[in-house]
Structure 1
């Protein structure tokens, strides 16, 4: 193995009482990345195993595949049954589970220090030799189908689904993590085996672990578990994904609901875009918490919203910025106008220096609070690595946030908040009023 880097990373933002935690990063001979942080304060070790194997890597006709794989990965290996796995984990009070995301797949574990080696060996089995029992695949597939059907009855779920399809077309980001009823219904164990064989390989894996363990001992343990796992001769597939094109439109669903769900959406910068962090600050300003601009102006002052906020997820490909509101159907037209007005305002009215500093403090404070536990630390540094940002992005993130100017905020708002996509779900009269107001505005 070769040691790539060694850092001393403080919590963010730097505080006089912050304790520097040693971090070491290595690449094993098989191409696997390992990140280790020692934290002697707590007798807990948490690990995250990241793979580039999320929804972005699924064929469209198999949307939901990585979700189904996450649901059944822990249900058996070539050596152990589902019951044996559960008994081993639960007998020592450990936790183990798998998750899929738009851009990656994660296996997460947490144990007391004394049990970590055994649970890591189990994790190695799950990643390398899962059995995907037919009965478990069928059960989880049926449960996913039931969940997808229930989403059809939730106005915001319907509104987000139709907005994603409008934004992304045939890009995998158009689909909910579980895919659709049509795609989930035809997934089989063979699909899982093929996806696993393609993407579950050591040169596509990042292991990030933090806790009461010396870095050298942790790396040696990871090598014992994964070191004999050789990558296949074939390279990883090259993705040929479509680039979303901005084509603003209005999409609607008539549903007999007590409130209308309204989403105003825009395509937005990917994580490697220089405008990613300024737009994260804009999202914090507009939609983060009870003091956010949307909450104060549209709910507290104008009484338009049952719920109101914004979101801007981190994505490898073009992301989306969405301002959304749940409102009384009779307020649909005013709600759409209010959301659009708040986004457009950032294009023409600069933030004050005080407003920008408050938003920076808020985002950096929340960032620091998200790095308090070993599990959170393992998550964030592994996440940075799997996204191609590297662990040094922790420090860069804080520095770039502090360097963002008022002009940057306004420039990014002008770039992103042009003519919007609009998604409306609600009673027929509310939808008609929303479409009419949108047509007038366009």
Structure 2
């Protein structure tokens, strides 16, 4: 895969993977900021903005804009995360000029009409009501609130029933004006477009944006000091348990050993320790897993188990026992080699379509890894040693400090009353 770095005459840079087998162009771009830029009392603002991006722009109201999208057969999907607002945009080569005109209008002239704002607000509030009945969503939200209390990461990305109704068109416009800027922009293009054409199109699409963003400073986050456990009661036969610890930042030299370690612990499906011990040997749960989340201002090692109410306490005991054991002894050489074999072999599957290539390259740029990382990555994984993984396991896996949220009606594992909620 030939990855080129393109710089437009106006100074906008982008990664390009050029291929002309199909008459399609996939753009993936991001603005740094995300929900961490939501003002006090306006959590959910970034998420609201992304829901409004196809609700009218320029001289087109929502109905006219969406009709134009269909005419051009473009795919446009904006999303908000903790640290980013992202967009996936795809067009046929034959409609590129008109499609890129439309995207330019979306970014530089979003309307945020009052009627569309109220309609989308209603959709968000309806979604929040549905989320209240989804134990996975409830556990995840409760965990973030517990782990990141007092930090923007502790606020819900989608907002709340208290904050969303207060968001008005001026709030939406203010967020877009502050965050959607050229100094804050990361772009990737994949498909049927050459470097010279892309360079001109970058200026056409993004050149009308403000040169400088106005991001509020976001402090680095320190997770709550565990152990702490919170129960959210929900009348369901199976509890969802989310547990986590301080992780390893992406720029930390220990990140790749931690990444391999996570595969061994719970990221490797049936090849993982937790799946073997919790499900296969004891039949306590259908699923158990773990992940690493390196945000811009914090890093988290997080896991989740779904188990019947009667088995919550035993499942957590087994999980803590396994984390403590790996922290103490580390994984085996065989586990390490199996993990490295899978992680290197599966890497190519992340590049099986134009959209997935664009997505992978976008996050390489977000994380500051550079264009050569695609070719270097498997070698770096192969170079991870058992001693490195053992050191990271000892550093990261303090099972006695777990931050845990439980959604359901657990029979065991009742928390300290100070941390319980109904």
TM-score of the two chains, using structure 1 as the length reference = 0.87
Task: Pick the aligned partner of 1:384 from 359, 364, 372.
Answer: 364
* 102 and 422 in structure 1: CA distance in 2 versus 1, 3 angstrom threshold: same
Residues in 2 aligned to 1:242 and 1:251: alpha-carbon distance in whole angstroms:
24
What's the secondary structure of 1:73's corresponding residue? coil
User: Contact (CA 8 Å) 1:264, 1:340: kept in 2 or not?
Assistant: no
Within-5 A mapping of 1:356-367: 356-367=336-347
Q: Which residue of 2 aligns with 1:254?
A: 233
Q: Does 1:63 align with 2:43?
A: yes
User: Contact (CA 8 Å) 2:12, 2:182: kept in 1 or not?
Assistant: yes
Residues in 2 aligned to 1:280 and 1:117: alpha-carbon distance in whole angstroms:
42
Compute the RMSD of aligned alpha carbons: 2.2
Q: Which residue of 2 aligns with 1:424?
A: 406
* 230 and 431 in structure 1: CA distance in 2 versus 1, 3 angstrom threshold: closer
Q: Which residue of 2 aligns with 1:237?
A: 215
Residues in 2 aligned to 1:304 and 1:311: alpha-carbon distance in whole angstroms:
20
Q: Which residue of 2 aligns with 1:111?
A: 91
* 179 and 274 in structure 1: CA distance in 2 versus 1, 3 angstrom threshold: farther
What's the secondary structure of 2:269's corresponding residue? coil
Q: Which residue of 1 aligns with 2:26?
A: 46
Within-5 A mapping of 1:308-387: 308-387=288-367
Q: Structure 1 residues 373-382 or 212-221, which shifts more?
A: 212-221
What's the secondary structure of 1:306's corresponding residue? strand
User: Contact (CA 8 Å) 1:32, 1:204: kept in 2 or not?
Assistant: no
* 428 and 379 in structure 1: CA distance in 2 versus 1, 3 angstrom threshold: closer
Q: Which residue of 2 aligns with 1:264?
A: 243
Residues in 2 aligned to 1:435 and 1:282: alpha-carbon distance in whole angstroms:
31
Q: Which residue of 2 aligns with 1:139?
A: 119
What's the secondary structure of 1:261's corresponding residue? strand
Within-5 A mapping of 1:145-294: 145-229=125-209, 231-232=211-212, 236-248=214-226, 249-285=228-264, 286-294=266-274
Residues in 2 aligned to 1:350 and 1:431: alpha-carbon distance in whole angstroms:
27
Instruction: Name the count of aligned residue pairs.
Output: 414
TM-score of the two chains, using structure 2 as the length reference = 0.91
Residues in 1 aligned to 2:416 and 2:285: alpha-carbon distance in whole angstroms:
19
Instruction: Please list every run of 5 or more consecutive structure 2 residues that lacks an aligned counterpart in the other structure.
Output: none
Residues in 2 aligned to 1:229 and 1:163: alpha-carbon distance in whole angstroms:
37
Residues in 2 aligned to 1:189 and 1:140: alpha-carbon distance in whole angstroms:
11
Deviation at 1:168, TM superposition (A): 0.9
* 310 and 391 in structure 1: CA distance in 2 versus 1, 3 angstrom threshold: same
Deviation at 1:331, TM superposition (A): 1.0
Q: Structure 1 residues 235-244 or 348-357, which shifts more?
A: 235-244
TM superposition outliers: structure 1 runs of 4+ over 6 Å: none
User: Contact (CA 8 Å) 2:146, 2:224: kept in 1 or not?
Assistant: no
Deviation at 1:431, TM superposition (A): 4.9
User: Contact (CA 8 Å) 2:234, 2:408: kept in 1 or not?
Assistant: yes
User: Contact (CA 8 Å) 2:28, 2:188: kept in 1 or not?
Assistant: yes
User: Contact (CA 8 Å) 2:136, 2:240: kept in 1 or not?
Assistant: yes
User: Contact (CA 8 Å) 2:8, 2:200: kept in 1 or not?
Assistant: no
Deviations 1:196-246 (A, max 9, x none): 1111112211221100221222222222333454515xx633514253144
Deviations 1:304-326 (A, max 9, x none): 00321112223112121122111
